[in-house]
Amino acid sequence: MARELVKFPQKCLRADRASAYYATFASKSLENSLHFEVENAIKVINTVRCLLRNAVDMTQRQFSLLSGVSARSSQVRQWVGQAREVQRQPNRREARLGD
């Protein structure tokens, strides 16, 4: 059960626990319990919404940076190919010396 619970965000679990405690020990009615649950859920949802918005912004910035790189990708591939050839050349020389 613990492994299943760990999959959920801590803020959600804490809000649910607070709602359960309130409903069990402090609430006067079902309506009060539900109102408390909604108020806690709204706080968590707003926090998650903000985090998601930041993640989307960061992803868009990274994508725009990668778009610039992909425009130069053929040049980069050419440089990588040249670097590999340079790395192979010493091995060829060593092979010739061994002959």
Confidence of residue 67 (pLDDT cuts 50, 70, 90): low
Return the pLDDT at 24: 93
How far apart are the C-alpha atoms of 93 and 86, rounded to whole Å?
Answer: 11
The whole-number pLDDT of residue 45 equals 86
Mean pLDDT highest for which of 20-34, 46-60, 65-79, 84-98?
Answer: 20-34
Residue pair 49/56 in contact (Cβ under 8 Å)? The answer is no
Tell me, what's the pLDDT at 71? 53
State the pTM of this model: 0.52
DSSP string, 72-93: THHHHHHHHHHHHHHHHHHHHH
For residue 21, the model assigns a pLDDT of 94
Instruction: Work out the pLDDT band at 6, boundaries 50, 70, 90.
Output: confident
Structure tokens that stand for 58 in this block: 């960061």
Cα separation, 53 vs 41, in Å, equals 18
- What are the residue boundaries of the structural domains of the chain, listed by start? 2-72
